[in-house]
Amino acid sequence: MTRVAVLAGGVGAARFLDGLVRVVEPSDVTAIVNVGDDMEWAGLHISPDLDTVTYTLADLVNPETGWGLRGESRRTLERLSELGGPDWFMIGDLDLATHLYRTHRLTQGDPLSAVTRDFTARIGLECVITPVTDDRLRTVVRTDAGELAFQDYFVRRRAADSVHALRFDGADSAKPAPGVEEALRSADAIVIAPSNPFLSIDPLLSVPGVRDLVTSNRSKVAAVSPIIGGQAVKGPAADILQSLGHDVSALGVARIYAELADIFVLDETDAALASTIEAETGMRVVVMPTLMTDVETKMALASGTLEAALDVA
């Protein structure tokens, strides 16, 4: 039995987890998922990262976008648009049922972690998928255009604004969701998924207690670089590295993770950075292909990362 806790954002983390549950017992995996991207849309509670991870592991995800359901229609959204309602966030007709279910349960007083547990069990998943907190936590992005709610920045304005700072509204008083601390404490390995360090991982670490549990278990933590050859596989990570004054490379990410992780998983493209990263950060660098294009590459990345994290030097 190898217990693995994964700090997870959206698409990159979901793909990593899809490999991981094929190389260890799914029930030994706990995905601790970012909720800083959550928002209220037309009165419904949307948890994009929880849904991206869930849909991916259930093999329901839209493979082109990496989020939303495969084979979706958008009739409700079209009608909503005709009525003058909010139409910039692409909610599909079947995805809508997820948001109705979640909002209904939350309105009845159930915590997000319990709703997520029931939802994932219902669609047949054996791994644990949990929000990092049941409390309200919202990423707010400071840009030239002012402070923007996360999805305003990310979807409505297409992540086009330069990011000057981020804050995580509600983080100070948030508590880890039930099971989160125990999953980190009892894990044989903790993986920081190839997610955006600022938009996905930082909100998780901002929940009091989480960062300390990761740093105090540093010897079993592996971080996978989301940057390959100076570019993000998906999303604005490279732009944010630049605008916040970091090196736009895997080295820049490694510096950010130095106090959290003992192992840094670097793509083959960046092999030349390995010795600098090791010398500067004290992390052990593992070089392997990190681009997850199919099931085989996802599994290889998951098993390589795990092997490195379990091999305590």
Residues in contact with ligand FO1 by CB under 6 A are 9-10, 37, 46, 48-49, 51-52, 67-68, 89-91, 95, 151, 154-155
**Quick one: 6 or 91, whose CB is closer to ligand FO1?**
91
Give the shortest CB-153-to-ligand FO1 separation in angstroms.
Answer: 10
Q: Residue 69 pairs with which residues in a beta bridge?
A: 61
CB of 65 to ligand FO1, least distance (A): 7
Phi-psi region of 201 (alpha: psi -120 to 50; beta: other; left: phi over 0): alpha
Output the smallest distance, CB 146 to ligand FO1, in A. 20
* 3-state per-residue secondary structure call for 253-270: HHHHHCCCCCEEEEEHHH
- Torsion angle, CA of 245/249/251/257, rounded to 10 degrees? 70
Q: What angle do CA 35, 106, 89 make, to 5 degrees?
A: 50
Q: Are 150 and 231 in contact (CB under 8 A)?
A: no
Tokens linked to 14: 């979901």
Number of H helices and number of E strands within the chain? 13, 14
| C-beta of 88 vs 311, nearer to ligand FO1 | 88
Cα separation of 130 and 207, whole Å? 14
CB of 56 to ligand FO1, least distance (A): 11
Nearer to ligand FO1, 235 or 304 (CB): 235
Closest distance of CB 94 from ligand FO1, Å? 11
Of 123 and 312, nearer to ligand FO1 (C-beta) is 123
Instruction: Decide whether 154 or 264 has the Cβ nearer to ligand FO1.
Output: 154
Of the pair 90, 145, the CB lying nearest ligand FO1 is at 90
CB of 86 to ligand FO1, least distance (A): 11
CB-closest chain residue to ligand FO1:
10
Under 8 Å CB-to-CB from 158, ≥6 apart: which residues?
Answer: none
